[in-house]
Amino acid sequence: MSILQLNDINTYYGGIHALKGISISVEKGEIVTLIGSNGAGKSTTLKTISGQVLPKTGSVIYEGKDISKQPAHITAQTGIAHVPEGRRIFPRLSVKENLEMGAFIVKDKKVIKERMEQVFDYFPRLRERLTQKGGTMSGGEQQMLAMGRALMSKPRLLLLDEPSMGLAPVIVEQIFDIISDLNKEGMTILLVEQNAFQALQIANRGYVLQTGEIVMAGQGNELITNESVREAYLA
């Protein structure tokens, strides 16, 4: 059963045609990855889903409902959480305050506390940094905070944009282990990632984007052995 379906999406930035009729599906409980070079349209796809950018034509169907014209703040309340490229944490707020922002629609303080404890189970370092300002943390810690903030909304669909960008290899391994753990616990994940090899290793399926179009799709293990994919993205 598809939790997410994009049908013939065309998205523009002014006169720039960023997404050219793309159609993708994400089944409940899957990890699906989008790979491609810079400017291929990967981040724009996630922004179109989360409502930060509205498509000119086509439909975004989430849990059977067309959300393609829905503003981002409404989409955030329907079970979709977006961890943007570059983390985008609130640098002057503490770790605790950043996490609380992720649960902005929750009024019950007990529920917020319970969700924060669940985040600490995934990211113990955040508990140690609870009162530290987000902007003073390392890149890896900020990525953990950005993901933790998203998890505070208890999403059914998690959109991850370049979670490994700029991180040391040991931190990248930790982040991908956590993505796998989240998925094993039932979370559906749409992953945009420059590190195509690691993304395809954990993905059920993948799509290859090139200048706003899908040029290839398949199972993760199929794409990782595909000669043209290997030459373009895994070399």
* 23-82 tens-digit pLDDT: 999 999 999 999 998 889 999 999 999 999 999 999 999 999 999 999 998 898 889 999
Contact (Cβ atoms closer than 8 angstroms) between residue 171 and residue 163: no
Contact (Cβ atoms closer than 8 angstroms) between residue 224 and residue 197: yes
Q: Where do the domains of the chain lie? A: 1-79+158-235, 88-154
Q: Which residues of the chain have pLDDT under 70?
A: 1, 235
Please report, as a single letter, which amino acid is at residue 63: E
Supply the pLDDT for residue 235: 59
Radius of gyration of the chain (CA): 17
* C-alpha to C-alpha distance for 197 and 210, rounded to whole angstroms: 17
Cβ-in-10-Å burial (0-12, 13-18, 19+) of 227 comes to exposed
The single-letter DSSP state of residue 85 is T
How many other C-beta atoms can be found within 10 angstroms of the C-beta atom of residue 119? 23
* C-alpha to C-alpha distance for 154 and 103, rounded to whole angstroms: 8
Predicted TM-score (pTM) of the model is: 0.92
* C-alpha to C-alpha distance for 202 and 195, rounded to whole angstroms: 12
Which fold, 1-79+158-235? Answer: Rossmann fold (3.40.50)
Supply the pLDDT for residue 3: 96
| Mean pLDDT for the chain overall | 91
Supply the pLDDT for residue 164: 86
Contacts of 126 (CB under 8 A, 6+ apart): 95, 99, 119, 120, 141, 144, 145, 148
Contact (Cβ atoms closer than 8 angstroms) between residue 195 and residue 234: no
Strand arrangement of the beta sheet that strand 57-62 belongs to? 16-27, 2-13, 57-62, 65-66
Of 10, 57, 6, 50, nearest to 212 by C-alpha is 10
